[in-house]
Copies of this chain bind each other. A is one copy, B any other.
Amino acid sequence: MAQEDVKLLGVIGSPFICRVQIALKLKGVEYQFVPQDLQNKSEELLKFNPIHKKVPVLVHNERAINESLVIVEYIDEVWKGKSILPTDPYQRALARFWAKFIDDKIYSAAWKSVFTVNKEEREKNIKVLHEIFQFLEDELKDKFFGGEKFGFVDIAAIYIAFWVPILQETAGLQLFTNEKFPKLYKWSQEFMNQPTIKECLPPRDPIFAFFKGRCESLLALAN
């Protein structure tokens, strides 16, 4: 394809940006990363995502695509190379189902399992999170959700592999462990050990500091 102009508007440390970065890396797409200040939104961001005004935004030849999973499907359809979604329609439907499940369930449940002051409430939230993890544990039949190679669901689930362990460490909790979810835990290690994934992961320390800050403000408010 001639004259490719690919820009990714994003912030470092976001799992949603990371999904798009993995998809671009997997397809070998050259792109320009355009960092955004979400406290002071750029004209470019407001122009390319006037509805949600958030990142990631992929701008391909001056046309914008929003929503991380929509972007990942777009990348899969536009660029040749390793495929991200399966080719069989039924397997594609399952992949879309699980990616949506992760989007609808994980973020809020993981956040509430850590950032809830009331102990009883937090225990309830942890129970919900564990039920969600259990569904994923049961679904994982091969090395990856995508089979022998990682794919759409694995990419969608990067938050569980990389962000959840940092989140739990911040609060000194044991939400996601090898003992409780052996298959899912093993998956997380294998997945993060893939060269493509390693190259796309953001630095750990600023994320830890961000979560820690949140945790401390919450405790300060509660006391």
Query: Which A residues contact B (CB, under 8 angstroms)?
Result: 51, 60, 63, 65-67, 70-71, 73-74, 77-78, 89-90, 92-94, 96-97, 100-101, 135
Contact = CB atoms under 8 A, between A and B. Distances in A.
Contacts of A89: 74, 77-78
A97 B70 CA distance: 7
Given A67-B97, A67-B100, A74-B90, 11 more contacts: A51-B101, A63-B90, A65-B93, A66-B97, A67-B96, A73-B92, A73-B93, A73-B96, A74-B89, A74-B92, A77-B92
Copies of this protein in the complex? 2
24 contacts: A51-B101, A51-B135, A60-B90, A65-B90, A65-B93, A65-B94, A65-B97, A66-B97, A67-B97, A67-B100, A70-B93, A70-B96, A70-B97, A70-B100, A71-B93, A73-B92, A73-B93, A74-B89, A74-B90, A74-B92, A74-B93, A77-B89, A77-B92, A78-B89
A52 B217 CA distance: 35
Main secondary structure of the interface of A (DSSP, over half): helix
A61 B63 CA distance: 40
A17 B96 CA distance: 18
A3 to B, nearest CB: 16
Nearest to A92: B77
A100 to B, nearest CB: 6
Nearest to A60: B90
A63 to B, nearest CB: 6
Contacts of A97: 65-67, 70
Contacts of A51: 101, 135
Contacts of A101: 51
